[in-house]
């Protein structure tokens, strides 16, 4: 069986177990997903959602982020960790979106990567969830770990290499949801600390289980 055939089989199994492949971060506007993803660095999605519920009420528009001081934003997000750096990026990003993009989040990888604090993980997430463009959000450790265990990658921990290898085997129209589903599976079953192999529907494809 080729890797593409394996990827197709795993994709269908994941779709049956996790039919709702949605981003765990809560947002209403496109820039809110951008900001929430920046806050998620070294922080859980659950914590980010708690913080952003108040944050987006305190700063209800992109202009309000641009007008706020870094100290005000930092105080609002301090439980997310690295809050001073993240506050600087959120304010700078808001200012850049207003000045250069008319207050809209750009849709190309090249333009997204120009924004303060935005890396490939965030850019792929925005392109997939906002603009419905094929992408692989692989900076999450669940996605990296499980794709290696399933033999879809060579086991590398490098997010860029994992992204490239998954793009080679996944159907483009499935790639965004596939990564969301791997994250859900990593939280529910294939955890980093103790994989619950007896509950896993992917055992027959898992090199970790079969080894």
Which residues are identified as catalytic?
121, 140
Distance CA 4, CA 125 (A): 23
- CA 111, 136, 81: angle at the middle one, nearest 5? 75
The SS3 call for residue 8 is: helix
Tell me which residue has tokens 């990564």: 179
Q: Is the dihedral of CA 65, 48, 172, 119 positive or negative?
A: positive
Residue 49: what are its φ and ψ, rounded to 5°?
A: -65, -35
Residue 119: what are its φ and ψ, rounded to 5°?
A: -115, -170
Residue 3 token pair: 């890797």
Strand partners, 195: 190
Cα dihedral 138, 141, 144, 145, rounded to 10, equals -160
């Amino acid at each position: 069986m080729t890797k593409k055939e394996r990827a197709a089989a795993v994709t269908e199994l994941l779709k049956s177990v996790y039919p709702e492949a949605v981003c765990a971060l809560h947002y209403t506007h496109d820039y809110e997903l951008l900001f929430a993803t920046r806050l998620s660095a070294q922080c859980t999605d659950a914590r980010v959602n708690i913080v952003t519920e108040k944050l987006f009420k305190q700063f209800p528009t992109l202009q309000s982020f641009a007008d706020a001081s870094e100290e005000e934003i930092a105080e609002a997000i301090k439980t997310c960790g690295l809050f001073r750096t993240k506050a600087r990026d959120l304010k700078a990003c808001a200012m850049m979106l207003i000045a250069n993009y008319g207050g809209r989040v750009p849709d190309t990888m090249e333009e997204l990567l120009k924004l303060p604090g935005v890396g490939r993980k965030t850019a792929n997430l925005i392109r997939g969830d906002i603009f419905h463009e094929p992408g692989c959000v692989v900076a999450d450790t669940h996605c990296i770990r499980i794709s290696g265990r399933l033999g879809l990658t060579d086991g590398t921990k490098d997010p860029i290499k994992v992204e490239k290898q998954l793009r080679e085997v996944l159907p483009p129209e499935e790639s965004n949801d596939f990564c969301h589903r791997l994250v859900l599976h990593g939280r529910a079953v294939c955890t980093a600390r103790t994989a619950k192999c007896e509950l896993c529907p992917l055992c027959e494809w898992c090199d970790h289980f079969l080894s």
